[in-house]
Amino acid sequence: MNTLGFITGSNGFLAQNVIKVLEKYCKKIYLIDLAYNEDEVEEGILHKKKLDITSEKNVDTFFQNIDFQSFDKSILVNMAAIDHKVTKHGADFKWNIEESNVEKLRKSIEVSLIGTFIISKYFCTKSVKDNIESNILNFASDLSVLISNDSVYGENNHKPIDYSISKHGLIGLTKYFAVYYAKNNIRVNSISPSGIENDQNEDFVEKYSMLAPIGRMITSEEIEGAVEFLVTDKSSFITGQNIILDGGKSLW
């Protein structure tokens, strides 16, 4: 298929699963991440690009140099975020409202919301100008519709609020773009996975698994079906929607 792909946050943990899906449909995929060392590394159809999505000037320049006209369709998957992880050694955060750092909160919202807005803006502008069908998939989280059950993070610890604010906001951004660009043949949706199994410590995995009726954490492979559904014509009449992949966690 003659499709051009873009993935932000492509150096992160989940990106490999998204790349696997897009490789089935795209002739060229730009992998965009702040963490890359070199400028534009090519590996077959994959083009790695070091880019800060919060820099409007750099994002604008990046899109000015991309040829959309040689393609029939384009896909943008927004994954870049400040995500607070739990590892083998426990939560990598220790957070409460009273001692919180507003600068960290600003930075997180800047990446997850403003950065996603900026890259989506230039992607859509270019798609409309070159008159090609397009599709955006935003990576939200079950915390786009729920507030975290902090009992899994250890005593007196809380998942930082920036994550909840950003992911709830991302649902608004998704719906706004979906309505705004519907007439331009651009669909915009989001997926909301719960915490993904990733070598976390046993105590956390056990407690987190109890939060869902299915009784376990989701694996990274299990996001691929929803990604494929939303970025292809299998979902051709769906826009502005959020698919929650949480093993029923949000039902309790």
Residue 73 C-beta: closest distance to ligand NAD, Å:
23
Q: Is 80 in the site for ligand NAD (CB under 6 A)?
A: yes
CB-based contact 95:36 (threshold 8 Å): no
Q: Is 12 in the site for ligand NAD (CB under 6 A)?
A: yes
Rounded to whole angstroms, how far apart are CA atoms 119 and 146? Answer: 26
Q: Is 227 in the site for ligand NAD (CB under 6 A)?
A: no
Residue 152 C-beta: closest distance to ligand NAD, Å:
12
Binding positions for ligand NAD, 123-152, rule CB under 6 A: 139, 141
- Total binding residues for ligand NAD by CB under 6 A? 24
Q: Is 222 in the site for ligand NAD (CB under 6 A)?
A: no
Rounded to whole angstroms, how far apart are CA atoms 212 and 7? Answer: 29
Catalytic residue among 30, 122, 163, 181: 163
From the list 48-56, 57-65, 200-208, 227-235, the region that binds ligand NAD by CB under 6 A is: 48-56
Q: Is 13 in the site for ligand NAD (CB under 6 A)?
A: yes
Q: Please state the three-class secondary structure of the chain as a single string.
A: CCEEEEEECCCCCCHHHHHHHHHCCEEEEEEEECCCCCCCEEECCEEEEECCCCCHHHHHHHHHCCCCCCCCEEEEEECCCCCCCEECCEECCCCCCCCCCHHHHHHHHHHHHHHHHHHHHHHHHHHHHCCCEEEEEEECCHHHCCCCCHHHHCCCCCCCHHHHHHHHHHHHHHHHHHHHCHHHCEEEEEEEECCECCCCCHHHHHHHHCCCCCCCCECHHHHHHHHHHHHCHHHCCCCCCEEEECCCHHHC
Q: Is 196 in the site for ligand NAD (CB under 6 A)?
A: yes
To the query of whether residue 30 is one of the catalytic residues in this protein, the response is no
Q: In the set 19, 53, 136, 243, which binds ligand NAD (CB under 6 A)?
A: 53
Q: Is 119 in the site for ligand NAD (CB under 6 A)?
A: no
From the list 52-60, 89-97, 127-135, 150-158, the region that binds ligand NAD by CB under 6 A is: 52-60
Q: Is 8 in the site for ligand NAD (CB under 6 A)?
A: yes
Residue 70 C-beta: closest distance to ligand NAD, Å:
25
Q: Which residues are known catalytic residues?
A: 163
Binding site for ligand NAD (CB under 6 A): 8-9, 11-15, 33-35, 52-54, 79-81, 83, 111, 115, 139, 141, 193, 195-196
